[in-house]
């Protein structure tokens, strides 16, 4: 339990929170990487998934991409990108790697969500004279929303985790506190950094779960 | 003056046959370590997950806490998980195994439980009517019927473990991850690419192997598909 006490005293030392290597700065980097990557991945994956789901094409691709993504080590992709020509562009190798790993869950869940909409409902919409675009925007999209949000939640938690690993490949974020702790052979710092990362991941998961619950009850309320 | 050798190693190319032939020993060692870490972790995860899933199925009160705790563990990023285990295990292979066990536990418990819950009540009652006790019901009826779902979980857990072993490089026990890590520090492109590709190949091979095993273990699902 000595280590926990040491980790606690590391966390409660004001000097560890300020400056470039401080917790606040690393947390800011972590959130920046996560938010930017999540926005880019949503912008790429969601339109593609919605259109593919609407047309009912490319299902095998959408599902297999998720499975393939799991087999590729995030660490390997981070290092490969770092050594590639884009490696010299600051945060970009990290962001590209993060986007690559956030796209599959977004794509798969949004695709499955749109495909899962009751065919009778879609037919009814068409019978009412809705165009394909209107059907997608007013019928399929709202009905697929729970699964789309699940995909966004999985992607966000995955991004927090991958952004941590990015520190191994020289990226910023809270993972840097952990890797610096390893380099200093300071177990308290390693444990303190790990606690910060774990708490952040759990908070992100919890926040998205809250959003999902709100969205679900909202849908039910307007339906009644 | 002797001219430096002009081969792909000297030019630091991504794809390099000379790397494979000159470092085959290092590569083999890394692959073996990678396979050992993966196998031990998933096997331990399976041994722990089975009783937990059965407990969660049999005792209603246990399902919530078991699923809650394993999901909580799964949310913790891998690097943080390994770091949190550092005070307990030190810089050892046991640390990597313990972290991976905790991850595979989540996937396995969830899938085995889903498989057990999907066993039709009529089937269970029919077995009870034939005089099956709780243990025989579990071993001869419920577990075989839960096998396809459990194997799906095992495949996901194995593939994830293969990829997560690489993070073990932070404590020097990462199998191929060690080569990626040292390759990054020395800017050795051929080493990073070769180790990465081997990782993906191991994951794909393990997935196919388990798929084959599932095919052999569940002959009754084959007739239906044909």
Predicted ipTM of the assembly: 0.87
Size of interface A-B (CB pairs under 8 A): 126
Domains and CATH numbers, chain A: 2-223 (1.10.3720.10)
- The stretches in chain A having pLDDT less than 70 are 1, 218-224
Assess contact for B159 and B200: CB atoms under 8 A.
no
Contact A165 B189 (CB under 8 A): no
pLDDT tens, position by position, B33-62: 999 999 999 999 999 999 999 999 998 899
Percent of chain B's residues with pLDDT above 70: 96
Q: Where are the domains of chain B?
A: 17-219
Distance in angstroms (rounded) separating the CA atoms of residues B119 and B215:
19
How far apart are the CA of B21 and the nearest CA of chain A, in angstroms? 22
Q: Do B181 and A194 touch (CB under 8 A)?
A: no
- How would residue B1 be classed by pLDDT, with cut points 50, 70 and 90? low
Per-residue confidence (pLDDT) for residue A58, from 0 to 100? 83
Task: Choose from B34, B38, B70, B76 for mutation: most chain A CBs within 10 A.
Answer: B76
- Measured at the CA of B81, the angle between CA A108 and CA B47, to 5 degrees, comes to 80
CATH topology of domain B17-219: MetI-like fold (1.10.3720)
Sign of CA dihedral B79, B83, B88, B92: positive
d(CA A182, CA A176): 10
Of B181, B193, B204, the CB nearest to A71: B204
DSSP label at B138?
A: I
Contacts of B96 in chain A (CB under 8 A): none
How does pLDDT run across B144-183, given as a tens digit for each residue?
999 999 999 999 999 999 999 999 999 999 999 999 999 9
Which pLDDT does position B222 carry in this prediction?
A: 76
The pLDDT score that the predictor gives to residue A223 is 40
Helix H, strand E, coil C: the string for B30-53 is: HHHHHHHHHHHHHHHHHHHHHHHH
> CA A147 to CA B215: how far, in whole Å?
31
């Amino acid at each position: 339990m000595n280590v926990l006490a040491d980790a606690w005293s590391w966390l409660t030392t004001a000097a560890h929170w300020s400056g470039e290597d401080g917790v606040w700065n690393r947390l800011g980097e972590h959130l920046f990487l996560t938010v930017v990557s999540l926005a880019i991945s949503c912008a790429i994956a969601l339109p593609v998934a919605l259109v593919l789901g609407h047309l009912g094409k490319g299902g095998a691709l959408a599902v297999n991409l998720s499975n393939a993504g799991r087999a590729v080590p995030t660490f390997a992709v981070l290092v490969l990108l770092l050594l590639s020509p884009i490696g010299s562009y600051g945060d970009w190798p990290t962001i590209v790697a993060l986007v690559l790993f956030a796209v599959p869950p977004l794509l798969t869940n949004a695709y499955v969500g749109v495909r899962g909409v009751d065919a009778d409902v879609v037919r009814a919409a068409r019978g009412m004279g809705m165009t394909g675009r209107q059907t997608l925007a007013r019928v399929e999209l709202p009905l697929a929303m729970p699964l789309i949000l699940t995909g966004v939640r999985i992607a966000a938690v995955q991004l927090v985790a991958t952004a941590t690993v990015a520190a191994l490949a020289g990226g910023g974020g809270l993972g840097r506190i952990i890797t610096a702790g390893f380099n200093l052979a300071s177990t308290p710092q390693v444990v303190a950094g790990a606690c910060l990362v774990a708490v952040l991941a759990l908070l992100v998961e919890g926040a998205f779960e809250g959003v999902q619950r709100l969205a679900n009850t909202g849908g039910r309320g307007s339906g009644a | 003056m002797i001219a430096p050798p002009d081969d792909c190693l000297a030019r630091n190319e991504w794809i390099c046959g000379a790397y494979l032939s000159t470092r085959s020993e290092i590569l083999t060692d890394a692959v073996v370590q990678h396979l050992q870490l993966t196998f031990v972790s998933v096997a331990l995860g399976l041994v722990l997950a089975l009783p937990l899933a059965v407990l969660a199925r049999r005792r209603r009160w246990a399902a919530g806490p078991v699923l809650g705790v394993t999901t909580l563990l799964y949310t913790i990023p891998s690097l943080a998980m390994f770091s949190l285990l550092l005070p307990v295990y030190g810089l050892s292979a046991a640390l990597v195994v313990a972290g991976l066990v905790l991850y595979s536990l989540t996937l396995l418990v969830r899938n085995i439980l889903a498989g057990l819950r999907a066993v039709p009540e009529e089937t269970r009652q029919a077995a009870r009517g034939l005089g099956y006790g709780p243990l025989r019901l579990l071993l001869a009826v419920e577990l075989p019927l839960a096998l396809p779902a459990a194997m799906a979980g095992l495949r996901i857990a194995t593939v994830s473990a293969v990829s997560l072993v690489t993070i073990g490089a932070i404590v020097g026990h990462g199998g191929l991850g060690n080569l990626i890590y040292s390759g990054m520090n020395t800017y050795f492109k051929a080493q990073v690419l070769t180790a990465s590709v081997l990782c993906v190949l191991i994951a794909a091979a393990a997935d196919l192997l388990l798929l084959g095993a599932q095919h052999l273990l569940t002959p009754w699902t084959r007739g239906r598909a044909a």
